A and B are shown apart, each in its own frame.
Chain A
C-alpha cells in the first residue's frame, strides 16, 4: 500500500519535472524586437525587417561583464535585420537564420509599412498579426511616406535610445487619443461606413526643401517626423496622405482628437490669438434631401487662450466673443478644406460619415452602402464650429501694452 503510494508520488513528480520548462526561455536568449517593417519585394514577395535591441549597449545596466565604464559602449543599441519571403513567417524564418537569439515579438510596439507596400495593399498580409497570441493589438502602425520601412528602421533618433520609441513618442505628442493602433485599424477596416487611416512618418526632422542637395541618402539622415496621415480605401490600399494639420482636422471630425492648439488671425484687430482646446467633441448629423445626402458637422470644444497678440482686453465678454468668432471661422475653414480635399481627391470616407447614416437610417444605408464611395464624393458637407473660451490665462490685456493702447 505504502509502496504504491510512494511510487505514485514519484511518478507524478517526475511528470512535472520531465515535462516542465519546455517553453522557458531566458531573457538573454531573446532578440527583443520593438519595431517591425513590411516592404514590397520583387516577385510578389515580402520584405520583413526587424529592429531588435542590443541589451548590452543600453546604458544604465551592468552590461556584459561590467568591465566597461558606464555600461553603454559605442554604437547603436539596436540593429536591423531584414529578409524577404513568400509570406511573413517565411521571411521571419529567414531572419532567424541571421540571429543568434530567438526573435521575440511579444514586445513589438511599432509596425511600419513602406509606401510602396501600402500602395499595393495590405489586405493579404494582416492575418498573422492577429493570429499569434503573443502579439498585442496595441501595436501602432505607421506608413513611411516616400520611403521603405527598412530604411526607416535604420534611422537613429537623437532623443531615444531605440528609434521605435521615438515614433511612438512623437505620435503621442500630437494630441491624439491613446489608440490601440492595430486594433482600431482592423475595426475601421471591417466596419462598413469608415475607411482606415494610419499616421504617416517620414525620415528626416525637417521636410525636404528644394534648395538642399537631394544627394543625401536616407541613412545619413537623423530622426524622423510625423508627416501627416495616410488614407486607405476599403481594399486597404494606400490612396494618399494628409498633412499634419489636415490630419488633426480629420481626427477631430472622426472623434479621435484629445487636444489641439488652434491659432487664428483676428482681422478686426490685425493680430492673432492661439487657443488650447481640451474639451473636444463633434457631432455629425446626416440630412437627406431628396437624392442628396447632406452632413452637418458640429465641432465643439472648450479651452484656454494661451496667446493673445492683439490689443484686446480679454476680461471683457464682447472681446471674448470676437475671439471665438475668429477661432470658429478658422476651424471651420480648415476642417471644411480637409473634408473637401479627401472627398474630391481620394474619395475614401475616413471620417466615418457612412457610419452615422448606418446608425441613423439603416434602410437608407442599405441602399447606398454598395456605392458609398461615390455617394460620399457627392455628399454636401457643412461645418459649424462652436468653440468656447473658458479661461483667458492670468491677465486680461497683454502686460506690455500701455493703458491707452488697450482696447476695452
Chain B
C-alpha cells in the first residue's frame, strides 16, 4: 500500500494515467435504437450473436411476424411454449382485437402471461435481456421489444452449507443463484426497509451484485463507503465474491480478513440487524459482510442460538484455543531451547528423555512437523472423499507413530503439533483461522531465534498491527480497543439476549436500541407467582 502512495506522489498525472491505462478492451457500446423493420433488427442481432450457438432465433410467421430471441438452456422452454407460443400460434388475439395488428403493446398486455415484462427500445437492452436469461419478442413494424422473464436455467437447490455447520439453527444455505439468496434474506426480514441495491460489475462477465442493508439501522457512512469502493471496481469478470473482496478490503497486507464471508442467510440477517452491510454476488453462495471486527472472527452462529451461560463457557474455550493455535509450538521451542528453567522439572526430564537420539534441533523438528501437518491438511481438502480417508490414515500412522518410533521426531513435538492443529480448527470462521495458521510460522521462527523475547516481540507487532487495522473505517479490535463498554457484552462473554439492548456501537447507525429494556424473566411478572 505504501508502495502505491509513493508512486502517487512521484507522478503528478497519476489519476489521468490510471484512467487511461485501465480502460478495458470491451468499451461500453453506444446505444443503437431498434428499428421498426424486423429484418434489420434481426440481422443486427444475428451479427452481434455471431458464433453464439446457444442463442436461438425463432421467427413466428404470423401477421405481422414475431421474432423470439433467447439463450437456450437459460430459459424455461415449457413456460415459453405455454405462455408465448401457444397464445400467438393457436389462440390468436383475444376477442375484440381481431382486426388490430399484433403490436408490442398487445403482446405485453394481452398475449404473454409472464409475471415480469418490460419494454425496451434499444438493441443493447435486447442483448442484455437475452443474456440475462430473458426472452426477447420483436414484432415487425414495432421499434420496441418486449423482454419476458422466463428464467429456467439449472440451479442447485437450497442445501445445508458445507463449510458452516451448526447443531442448532436453520439448515438452509445460500446457493449460486442470486435471486434465491435474496429471497432467503427477504423471507427472514419482512420490511420495506430492507433494501437491495443492484449493480453490475465486470465488463465481460456482467455479474449482478446486490448490496443489502436495512435502512435506518445501517450506518450511512459505511454504506456510502461500500457503494464507493464497489463502484470503483473495473475488471473483466467477477466469478466469486472473493474477486470483489480483494478490491474493497482496507488493506491487502494483513493476514487478517477484514471482510467476513458466509453462506448462511441467518448470519447475514443477524449482521443486517446489527447495522452491517452485505454484498451478495451472483454465481456464488458466499456473501460478504462488512465491516468485520476481530471478535466476529471468533463468534460462531450457534453462540446466539444456545443459552448464554453455555456460550460464555464455549467462548472461553475458543479464546484459549486460538491462543494455543498461535503460540503453543513457538512456546515449546522457546522454552525447551532457551528457557529450560521455566519448564517444571519432571516435564523437562521427560522431554529430555524423549529427545535422546532425535537428530534435529527442536526448532527444525517443530517446523518440519508443522509443515507436514499443513501439507496433510491441504492434501486432505482437495482429495476425493474415497482417497481422503487413506491420506488421513497414512498421515496419522506415518507422522504420528512411525516418525516417533524411528526416532526422527520426539513425541512431545507430535503432541504439540496435533494440539495446535486441533486448536486451529476450533476457530469458527475458516478464513480467520487461516490467519492464525499463517502467523504460527513467523512466531515459530522468532521463537527459534530469540526465545521468549522473540515471542513477546512478535505479539507486540501483532497487537500493533491489529490495533491499527480497520475495516471500512471501523477499528478492527473494537469494541475492546477503543473500548466501548456497552458493546463488550458480546465479546468475551455472551450476555443474555434481553440484556443486549443496544446494537454494537462501533459500527451501527444512529438507531441504537434493539431490545426494550427490562425484559428479564421474572416469576412475579408472569402471574404464576401471584
Contact = CB atoms under 8 A, between A and B. Distances in A.
Residue of A17, A63, A104, A107 with highest tally of chain B CB at under 10 A: A107
B179 to A, nearest CB: 48
A20 to B, nearest CB: 3
A62 B404 contact: yes
A107 B406 CA distance: 30
A26 interface: yes
Interface in A17-54: 17, 20-21, 23-28, 30, 32, 34, 53
Contact of A24 (B341, B349, B407, B451): B451
A134 B341 contact: yes
A134 B341 CA distance: 7
Interface residues of A, number: 34
A71 B448 CA distance: 29
Given A27-B362, A30-B340, A58 B350 contact: yes
Interface in A91-112: 104, 106-107, 109
A17 B354 CA distance: 28
A60 B6 contact: no
Contact of B357 (A65, A106, A107): A65
A188 B376 CA distance: 60
A12 interface: no
B449 interface: yes
A27 B340 contact: yes
A146 interface: no
Nearest to A30: B340
B466 interface: no
A64 B350 contact: no
A208 interface: no
Nearest to B450: A20
Contact of A25 (B337, B351, B405, B410): B337
A107 B353 contact: no
A283 to B, nearest CB: 38
A55 interface: yes
Looking at B6, B353, B354, B454, the one whose CB has the most chain A CB atoms below 10 A away is B353
A63 B404 CA distance: 11
A26 B407 contact: no
Interface in B333-375: 336-338, 340-341, 345, 348-358, 361-363
Contacts of B357: 28, 56, 63-65
Contacts of A66: 404-407
B119 to A, nearest CB: 57
A1 interface: yes
Contacts of A32: 340, 348-349, 352
B449 A26 contact: no
A55 B352 contact: yes
A362 interface: no
A134 B454 CA distance: 20
Contacts of B353: 55-56, 58, 60-63, 71
A16 interface: yes
A24 B3 contact: no
Contacts of A63: 353, 356-357
A26 B356 CA distance: 10
B451 A28 contact: no
Interface in B180-202: none
A252 to B, nearest CB: 30
Interface string A197-214: 000000000000000000
A136 interface: yes
B411 interface: yes
Contacts of B358: 28
Contacts of B338: 23-25
A2 interface: yes
Given A24-B337, A25-B337, A62-B407, A107 B449 contact: no
The secondary-structure label for the interface of chain A is loop
Nearest to A136: B341
B345 A109 contact: yes
A1 B362 contact: no
Most buried by B among A28, A55, A162: A28
Interface in B226-245: none
Given A62-B404, A62-B407, A30 B352 contact: yes
Contacts of A107: 340-341, 345, 348
Nearest to B360: A26
B450 A16 contact: yes
Nearest to A28: B355
Nearest to A104: B340
B449 to A, nearest CB: 3
A244 to B, nearest CB: 27
A160 to B, nearest CB: 11
B315 to A, nearest CB: 36
Given A58-B353, A60-B350, A61-B353, A21 B448 contact: yes
Contacts of B454: 20
Contacts of B351: 27
A17 B361 CA distance: 16
Given A20-B450, A106-B341, A64 B352 contact: no
Contacts of A26: 336-337, 355, 361-362
B352 to A, nearest CB: 4
A27 B337 CA distance: 6
Interface in B381-417: 404-407, 410-411
Contacts of B404: 62, 66
Contacts of B361: 26
Contacts of A106: 340-341
Contacts of A64: 356-357, 407
A30 B410 CA distance: 16
Nearest to A133: B341
Contacts of B6: 1-2
Given A16-B450, A134-B341, 6 more contacts: A27-B337, A28-B355, A28-B357, A55-B355, A61-B356, A62-B407
Interface of B: 3, 6, 336-338, 340-341, 345, 348-358, 361-363, 404-407, 410-411, 448-451, 454
21 contacts: A1-B6, A2-B3, A16-B449, A20-B449, A21-B450, A24-B338, A25-B338, A27-B337, A28-B357, A32-B349, A58-B349, A60-B353, A61-B353, A62-B354, A62-B407, A62-B410, A63-B356, A65-B356, A106-B341, A107-B340, A107-B341
